[in-house]
Structure 1
Amino acid sequence: MKLNTHFSRLTLAALPLALAACATSTSTTPQSPPSFQMLRQLHAEPTRLATGSYSGSFYVPSTLQTISWGYLPNRTAKPVLTIPSGATVVFDTVSHEGLLEDQGRDAAAYFGTKGVPRAQVLDEAQAITASKLAHDFDKDGPHIVTGPIAIEGAMPGDVLKVEILKVEPRVPYGVISNRHGKGALVGEFPRKPAQANPSAAHPERYGNVSVFTPIEPGKNGYEGIIATPGGKKIRFPLNPFMGIMGVAANTDQPVHSVPPAAHGGNVDVNDLGAGTTAYYPVQVPGALFYTGDSHFVQGDGEVALTALEGSARATFRLSLLKSGRDGVPGKKLTQPMGETDAHWITLGLDPDLDEAMKKATREAIRFLVAEYGISEELAYAYLSAATDFEVSQVVDRTKGIHSKIRKSDFGEFTKP
């Protein structure tokens, strides 16, 4: 499939500061988003930026020295950067989609078949697929994870507050994939059977399906575009967020990138985009924060396997909440939680979706009792009457349910 004429005319050069805002605008007045500008690597190594739009922020690129492929940092990981609490950090992440073995493990070649010139494929993506970096398609996780970074003074028992300031697509295209043995309809999709001896040299033998999806300016921001054989296009708005955020697990064993857990990781809660906050209980000294698996937009459930995945620049403010001193939502945390302007978000994670629902409910009850001082019985009744529980994802081995507790319902409990 070739890029359409409209897409090929887009300007691909410098920094689009307004992209995330345009993608999520709620204005009823039609807006014309700016021409897309690729977000190139800002510096070759982790550093503090002294010039440009991000001057004063710390910066982490995705290089062969700052990424892991398929695994998350554990307590033995060495930080690529150390920052003080309250610092702003910019991560340039690289999506795994278009780089994996069932896509040929050659970023320039894969995207070239979709009409993307080599100059419009990120240099980092090309370097990763051209390298000898080990990656086992069948055994390892697919995700390219950037980091970790250490936060000065972080110790087990503390909580890392992650304010998500901005998530900006770095390239004007992404990929949605469905693979054998994965997704909500395992055994039904993909329809094309796998063949013997698949490899990066013979990616067609995997029988997997990847749908190349450009993004284009729409009436109210950028839209994902799925072209149909009849020439009509499916258009849907973007809502960029990071699928993977977390802290290092307290183990010296490899931590697979697919299943989320108490340390965070591949949580895939699509509510946690720009302007929201995530909280993680610190497991090891330094916390060792990392991110990756950037999503341009994802439906609840993520049923096919992936969201619209594409490389993104994520900007965070990382603050340490010290145990026993600083205010932690729900007084304490043993697993991640989220916060938006309107909601508190509690998680339930389990290989069984029914058990994930139970865990999300128990955590929501615990939070309401600790945060607002009400009884468990009243909390349970309130949740049944007034709180939505949504399926985060069902495709990451460990399934996710999250509650969305409206803050406004507890206005009388909030101190002036």
Structure 2
Amino acid sequence: MSDHVCQEGCRHHSHGEDSPEIQQEFQEGRRDFMRDFAVGGVLASAASLGISSSAFGQTMPKTGLTSGHATHYYIPASDKTVSWGFFSKSLKPVVELESGDFATIETLTHHSNDDASLMVKGDPGAESVFYWDSKRKNVDRRGMGPMDHKLGAGGGMGVHILTGPVAIKGAEPGDVLEVRIVDVALRPSANPEFKGKTFGSNVAANWGFHYNELIEEPKKREVVTIYELDATGERNWARAFYNYRWTPQKDPFGVVHPIVDYPGVPVDHSTISKNYNVLKNIRVPVRPHFGTMGLAPKEADLVNSVPPSHFGGNIDNWRIGKGATMYYPVSVAGGLFSVGDPHASQGDSEMCGTAIECSLTGTFQFILHKKADLPGTPLADLQYPLLETQDEWVLHGFSYANYLAELGPDAQNSIFSKSSLDLALKDAFRKMRHFLMQTQNLTEDEAVSLMSIGVDFGITQVVDGNWGVHAVVKKGIFPGRDV
């Protein structure tokens, strides 16, 4: 058991090694890091590096999991457990857990008010977060901007609803936190008319890559498309329900929003025209994932949730879903993990500015790798967010690997005008070169050749200020090699 002291909205229970629930979660989510890869020219397993790939119940050295027991926390999304639009090293954790523990965490999309009748009304957690009348809103600050901003507190300088933070006991700068995504589930609509359904919103927005390239009139337009999904799991595709063009919306405080410029503004549906004849007979594959997930950075007290960086954050890679594992370098004590920006589906590049923004609940396991144990392992000198899936390793390059440090005091403003795919590709190349030389013991010449013939570079996103390019290498190209 950890030293956790329950706060409002937090529930937890402890599971032993014989618990069917925890056994199933563990087995489904477990990933053997660097499974069957070569170190120093010889085949090595994850276990030989001191990184356990054992079944649940066996002691996992240096993970804090002892006697076959782990604590499983449940963290609902409410106005007491979320921050809106920023990461912060100064936030008080909603829970502190031990390495090896699990947490099931609810996340809400900040676009729920695009149709509150489908995504907010009747849902107590969502209602508590989105509550806003003429006198107050439950979550006032939305972004890291000034509290007296003309658009609203925080200025919308950061938009994502983040549940957390979760502290990991003993995490210190220089450590690496492994986050295993055990499960991901859609959050059902509370509207009784749509029992068993889930809804999400896609906004072709003013910050989208497409916005200045429109050919039909009116060329300066923002379009919201609401998608319907099956929350029961019987259907693995989404369909467009209807769309509408954004019209100026007056928020409950009387501020008019001519464009989508502040998160969570409730849309008055009497002011819009709904088009139900949209994307007919088109099935969009559902691949739920978390667009924004990471640790608190050390460089500033409030960090805009939009640009991703060395600490993770708004990476917007659809591969960060069930069965995947993320590795993050720890920058501050406790790590302070937060997660949000849930997506039902997204393509590489997130071209129009958003995915299908759809509330999800995730189950995670947290494994802490101490700095002293990293030398000689693939996690040594890890300075960037690393993704592992069953078949691939994925590295994330950004226009600026650590824009907060590289761009100076005005970094959180200037990043939005300085990004380019050239810079992001260069960063992805440098990280993949490091990865291949570090984990596969390749020379630089070998790594460069392999990158050209065996690594796929793709555009992760072009809408998050700090643009992203991901590099994907298949695990299958590293069977046992002769010395």
Q: Secondary structure at the match of 1:162?
A: strand
Cα distance, 1:312–1:44 mapped onto 2, change above 3 Å: farther
RMSD: 2.7
Shift of 1:324: 2.8
Q: Does the 8 A contact of 1:330 with 1:366 survive in 2?
A: no
Q: Secondary structure at the match of 1:369?
A: helix
Match of 2:209 in 1: 184
Letter in 1 for 2:370: K
Match of 1:348 in 2: 397
Q: Does the 8 A contact of 1:192 with 1:208 survive in 2?
A: no
Shift of 1:186: 2.7
2:322 pairs with 1:274: yes
Find the aligned partners of 1:412 and 1:220 in 2 and give their Cα distance. 40
Cα distance, 1:210–1:322 mapped onto 2, change above 3 Å: same
Cα distance, 1:319–1:208 mapped onto 2, change above 3 Å: same
Deviations 1:132-182 (A, max 9, x none): 2223475322210110011010000000001111111112111111222x1
Q: Does the 8 A contact of 1:321 with 1:328 survive in 2?
A: no
Shift of 1:407: 1.3
Cα distance, 1:173–1:219 mapped onto 2, change above 3 Å: closer
Find the aligned partners of 1:346 and 1:83 in 2 and give their Cα distance. 27
Shift of 1:251: 3.1
In structure 2, stretches of 5+ residues that fail to align are 1-6, 23-69, 143-150, 189-197, 242-275, 400-418
2:413 pairs with 1:364: no
Find the aligned partners of 2:460 and 2:210 in 1 and give their Cα distance. 16
TM-score by structure 2 length?
0.67
Match of 1:166 in 2: 183
Match of 2:304 in 1: 256
Shift of 1:386: 1.2
- Residue from 333, 346, 366 that aligns with 2:382: 333
Q: Secondary structure at the match of 2:480?
A: helix
2:127 pairs with 1:59: no
Letter in 2 for 1:166: D
Q: Secondary structure at the match of 1:304?
A: coil
Letter in 1 for 2:479: G
Q: Does the 8 A contact of 2:318 with 2:348 survive in 1?
A: yes
Match of 2:448 in 1: 380
Match of 1:410 in 2: 478
How many correspondences in the alignment? 346
Find the aligned partners of 1:378 and 1:304 in 2 and give their Cα distance. 38
In structure 1, stretches of 5+ residues that fail to align are 1-42, 104-109, 195-206
TM-score by structure 1 length?
0.77
Find the aligned partners of 1:65 and 1:127 in 2 and give their Cα distance. 9
Find the aligned partners of 1:348 and 1:328 in 2 and give their Cα distance. 22
Letter in 1 for 2:201: V
Match of 2:3 in 1: none
Q: Secondary structure at the match of 2:79?
A: coil
Find the aligned partners of 2:112 and 2:278 in 1 and give their Cα distance. 25
Shift of 1:252: 3.8
Match of 1:127 in 2: 128
Match of 2:104 in 1: 90
Find the aligned partners of 1:158 and 1:67 in 2 and give their Cα distance. 25
Q: Secondary structure at the match of 2:343?
A: strand
Match of 2:273 in 1: none
- Residue from 69, 75, 94 that aligns with 2:89: 75
Deviations 1:2-59 (A, max 9, x none): xxxxxxxxxxxxxxxxxxxxxxxxxxxxxxxxxxxxxxxxx96123136996795112
Q: Does the 8 A contact of 1:295 with 1:309 survive in 2?
A: yes
Q: Does the 8 A contact of 1:76 with 1:252 survive in 2?
A: no
Q: Does the 8 A contact of 1:216 with 1:225 survive in 2?
A: no
Taking only the aligned residue pairs, the percentage that are identical comes to 32
Shift of 1:414: 10
Deviations 1:54-111 (A, max 9, x none): 7951121111121111111x22121110000011111011111123xxx4xxxxxx33
- Residue from 310, 318, 323 that aligns with 2:366: 318
Q: Does the 8 A contact of 1:71 with 1:255 survive in 2?
A: yes
Q: Does the 8 A contact of 1:348 with 1:363 survive in 2?
A: yes
Match of 1:198 in 2: none
Cα distance, 1:328–1:44 mapped onto 2, change above 3 Å: farther
Match of 2:116 in 1: 111
Q: Secondary structure at the match of 1:234?
A: coil
Cα distance, 1:218–1:56 mapped onto 2, change above 3 Å: closer
Find the aligned partners of 2:229 and 2:481 in 1 and give their Cα distance. 44
Cα distance, 1:405–1:231 mapped onto 2, change above 3 Å: closer
Q: Secondary structure at the match of 1:371?
A: helix
Cα distance, 1:414–1:344 mapped onto 2, change above 3 Å: farther
Structure exhibiting the larger radius of gyration computed from Cα positions: 2
Letter in 1 for 2:361: R
Deviations 1:194-249 (A, max 9, x none): 7xxxxxxxxxxxx5321110014899742110256278332122111111110111
Match of 1:25 in 2: none
Cα distance, 1:275–1:314 mapped onto 2, change above 3 Å: same
Find the aligned partners of 2:219 and 2:108 in 1 and give their Cα distance. 29
| Pairing of 1:40-51 with structure 2 (within 5 A) | 45-49=9-13
